[in-house]
């Protein structure tokens, strides 16, 4: 072991994600390696406001013949190519531990955020973003009674596999508790049993005290690059009001959330002067039969996983060591938070 004093921005180390029990390897010394990557000029928005061939646009007939209404705010429809269906036969039960199988049912919806194809959340007004949040809540209210897990998620940008540039998200409602939130539920519950407090409520308090990883802060919401972040500019948007699910937000919490989303996504776009790709989604207490059961261990939060590393086109790939061993990053979460804090969150580079 070296006698040198440990410096987090110099020396490699591992950090634990207490939500998943997974470790991430942090190698900040690799930031010093020579880099002659390109500097890019900010991207322009080349998309038309309306594209009569885009099946998500208002008034357009989708390939299945159904015509979209001429919507003026949000618009939700059942996915024409859903991953989850109702009314399918259950697989036969297997007693073989090597061939376990279980039923999966559900429904999938597509939600357009706005009638214009050439806008995105950071370019929308906070009132328009509030309308998106209210529709998330309507959808959640409708689906939560029947389904154990309602996953609201946005894939933004082709880098994240998004198939359509029109601003939209997806909602998948599942009859089962999917692996990632189930793992979180187990770890959050174990922490609560030991400490008698919710893990993420404690985490928010610690981050507010430490002030090392904060990106956006207001009385209702905190955005941090988590201590255990795997992706270079991953963030977590956490409720400061002990909310359990998205449908228990008050009007002022919704309005503040709209401002928070606008500020965070503006910062993201301004970081590399591009429409910043990411996958994001909401996690809260499970629903369906779980409603009314003990959910004290949960705190509502969203997670943003953006793939970009150095510029609008240079992305991080979770391959090699990451795929075979565990997640690894070079830039420390504190350095990433500093970069996001320093970049303008009020004025978008296209304005």
| Residue ranges in contact with ligand H2U by CB under 6 A | 55, 62-63, 79-81, 110, 155, 162-164, 170
Residue 176 C-beta: closest distance to ligand H2U, Å: 20
d(CA 344, CA 351): 12
From the list 148, 153, 75, the residue with the least C-alpha distance to 116 is: 75
User: Which residue lies nearer to ligand H2U by CB, 160 or 291?
Assistant: 160
Q: Are 340 and 217 in contact (CB under 8 A)?
A: no
Question: Annotated catalytic residue: which of 168, 283, 297, 301?
Answer: 168
User: Which residue lies nearer to ligand H2U by CB, 111 or 129?
Assistant: 111
**Whose CB is nearest to ligand H2U?**
55
Q: Are 276 and 265 in contact (CB under 8 A)?
A: yes
State yes or no: is 29 an active-site residue: no
Residue 78 C-beta: closest distance to ligand H2U, Å: 8
User: Which residue lies nearer to ligand H2U by CB, 39 or 163?
Assistant: 163
Is the alpha carbon torsion for 327, 329, 332, 333 positive or negative? negative
User: Which residue lies nearer to ligand H2U by CB, 73 or 79?
Assistant: 79
Residue 145 C-beta: closest distance to ligand H2U, Å: 23
Q: How many CA atoms lie within 13 A of 157 on its CB side?
A: 21
Q: Residue 7 in 3-state DSSP?
A: coil
DSSP output for 186-232 = HHHHHHHHHHSS-HHHHHHHHHHHH-SSEEEE-SSEEEE--TT--ST
Residue 68 C-beta: closest distance to ligand H2U, Å: 9
User: Which residue lies nearer to ligand H2U by CB, 70 or 208?
Assistant: 70
Burial 117-154 (b: 16+ CB within 10 A, else e): bbbbbbbbebebbbbbbbbbbebbeebbebbbbbbbeb
Residue 170 C-beta: closest distance to ligand H2U, Å: 5
Q: Are 305 and 234 in contact (CB under 8 A)?
A: yes
Q: How far apart are the first and last CA of the chain?
A: 53
d(CA 75, CA 52): 17
Q: Which residues are catalytic?
A: 168
């Amino acid at each position: 072991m070296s006698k040198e004093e440990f410096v987090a921005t110099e020396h490699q180390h591992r950090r634990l994600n207490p939500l998943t029990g997974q470790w991430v390897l942090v190698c900040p010394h690799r930031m010093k390696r020579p880099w002659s990557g390109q500097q890019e000029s900010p991207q322009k928005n080349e998309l038309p406001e309306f594209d009569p061939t885009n099946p998500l646009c208002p008034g357009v007939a989708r390939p299945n013949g159904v015509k979209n209404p001429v919507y003026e705010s949000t618009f939700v429809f059942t996915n024409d190519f859903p991953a989850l269906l109702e009314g399918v036969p259950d697989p036969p039960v297997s007693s073989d531990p090597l061939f376990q199988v279980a039923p999966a049912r559900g429904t999938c919806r597509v939600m357009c955020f706005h009638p214009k194809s050439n806008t995105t959340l950071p370019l929308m007004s906070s009132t328009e973003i509030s309308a998106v949040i209210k529709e998330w809540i309507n959808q959640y209210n409708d689906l939560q009674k029947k389904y154990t897990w309602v996953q609201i998620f946005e894939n933004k940008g082709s880098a994240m596999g998004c198939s359509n540039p029109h601003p939209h998200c997806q909602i998948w409602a599942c009859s089962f508790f999917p692996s990632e939130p189930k793992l979180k539920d187990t770890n959050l519950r174990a922490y609560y049993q030991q400490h008698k407090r919710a893990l993420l409520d404690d985490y928010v308090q610690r981050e507010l005290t430490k002030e090392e990883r904060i990106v956006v802060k207001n009385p209702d919401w905190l955005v941090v690059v988590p201590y255990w972040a795997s992706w270079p500019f991953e963030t977590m948007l956490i409720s400061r009001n002990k909310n359990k699910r998205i449908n228990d937000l008050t009007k002022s919490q919704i309005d503040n959330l709209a401002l928070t989303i606008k500020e965070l996504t503006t910062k993201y776009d301004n970081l590399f002067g591009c429409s910043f790709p990411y996958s994001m989604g909401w996690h809260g207490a499970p629903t369906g039969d779980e409603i009314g059961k003990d959910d004290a261990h949960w705190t509502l939060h969203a997670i943003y996983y953006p793939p970009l590393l150095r510029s609008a086109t240079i992305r991080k790939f979770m391959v090699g060591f990451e795929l075979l061993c565990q997640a690894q990053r070079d830039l420390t979460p504190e350095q990433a938070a500093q970069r996001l804090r320093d970049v303008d969150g009020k004025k978008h580079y296209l304005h």
